[in-house]
């Protein structure tokens, strides 16, 4: 009788379905590897934007390789920006990551601090300046940046640029330089308004042409600054 029970137990064990152990899934071609802290290995939040600190050890993490400067500076992706808000954001970010705060941290973290600080400076200068901001917006939209040599400007515009250049070359006193500076600023403000309107109606090609004109006036502004520097 006991022998029969032992045979029955062996039969039930043989019929039991084997336990299935799930295999680890391989990362697909579109998957993104989990971000982990370089210092302690803790998982990191994956969202782009402000500089990341490890939630476990509070170590500063490296900046994103291709950051969105608008997202970094907490701005809408638009040609219109609030200069005061941009400045507040700049100061807040620099306060958090400035290299002076990381003097006693490991060399790797000090290096990340310098990278973040440089990136924040670049973002601030890019978004604050209308020409740089417009060219960056074109880049984000995949529009090839306008080059002065590629720009088929109308003859009236080119004549105007040549005349201002000649006045600038001939100017020898402060009054004439001030007059040229006022003219350049007026032209830049006018073009900035036109570029704003072009972006807001989604006309990227028109924005590209207007930004090419703005580059001419930016070059004139640089020449003016050099002229005003005392020799």
Q: So what's the pLDDT on residue 15?
A: 31
Per-residue model confidence (pLDDT) at position 14 = 34
The verdict on 190 and 155 lying in the same domain is yes
89 is a domain residue: yes
Closest CA to 152 of 204, 195, 213, 196: 213
Backbone torsion region of residue 2, taken as left when φ is above 0, otherwise alpha when ψ lies between -120 and 50, otherwise beta: alpha
**Looking at the structure, do residues 124 and 158 belong to the same domain, yes or no?**
no
* Per-residue pLDDT, 146: 54
Higher-confidence residue: 194 or 153? 194
Structural domain boundaries enclosing 122: 69-128
What's the CA gap between 3 and 190, in Å, rounded? 102
Q: Is 26 helix (H, G, I), strand (E, B) or coil?
A: coil
DSSP element (H, E) containing 64: none
Which residue in 171, 191, 201 sits closest to 131, CA to CA? Answer: 191
Q: What pTM value is reported for the model?
A: 0.79
Helices (H), 16-154: 69-72, 83-97, 107-128, 130-140
Give per-residue pLDDT as tens, 49-88: 789 999 999 999 999 989 999 999 999 999 999 999 999 9
Residue 188 placed within a domain:
yes
- Domain match, 164 and 211 both: yes
Rounded to an integer, the average pLDDT of 174-192 is 94
CB 56 within 8 A of CB 37: yes
Contacts within 8 Å (CB) and 24+ apart, 226-229: 227/168, 227/171, 227/177, 228/177
Q: How many domains does the chain have?
A: 2
Domain with 120 in it: what CATH number? 1.10.287.110
174 domain residue, yes or no: yes
Which H/E stretch holds residue 185?
Answer: helix 174-200
Q: With 80 as the cut, is the pLDDT of residue 211 above it?
A: yes
Residues 121 and 171 both lie in one domain: no
Answer whether residue 6 is part of any domain: no
Question: What CATH number did the domain enclosing 200 receive?
Answer: 1.20.1280.20
Domain annotation covers residue 194: yes
Closest to 187 in 3D by CA, of 148, 155, 160, 156: 160
């Amino acid at each position: 009788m006991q022998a029969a029970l032992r045979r029955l137990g062996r039969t039930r064990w043989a019929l039991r379905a084997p336990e299935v152990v799930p295999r680890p899934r391989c990362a697909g071609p579109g998957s993104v590897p989990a971000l982990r802290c370089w210092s302690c290995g803790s998982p990191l939040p994956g969202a782009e934007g402000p500089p990341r600190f490890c939630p476990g050890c509070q170590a500063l993490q490296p900046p994103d390789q291709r950051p969105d400067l608008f997202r970094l500076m907490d701005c809408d992706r638009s040609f219109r920006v609030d200069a005061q808000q941009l400045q507040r954001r700049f100061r807040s970010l620099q306060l958090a990551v400035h290299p002076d705060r990381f003097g006693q941290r490991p060399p790797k973290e000090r290096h990340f601090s310098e990278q973040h600080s440089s990136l924040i400076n670049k973002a601030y200068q890019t978004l604050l300046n209308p020409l740089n901001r417009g060219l960056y917006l074109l880049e984000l939209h995949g529009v090839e940046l306008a080059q002065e040599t590629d720009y088929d400007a109308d003859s009236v515009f080119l004549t105007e640029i040549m005349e201002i250049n000649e006045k600038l070359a001939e100017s020898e006193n402060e009054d004439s330089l001030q007059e040229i500076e006022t003219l350049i600023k007026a032209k830049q403000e006018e073009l900035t308004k036109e570029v704003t309107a072009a972006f807001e109606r989604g006309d990227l090609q028109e924005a590209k042409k207007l930004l090419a004109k703005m580059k001419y006036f930016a070059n004139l502004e640089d020449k003016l600054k050099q002229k005003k520097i005392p020799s």
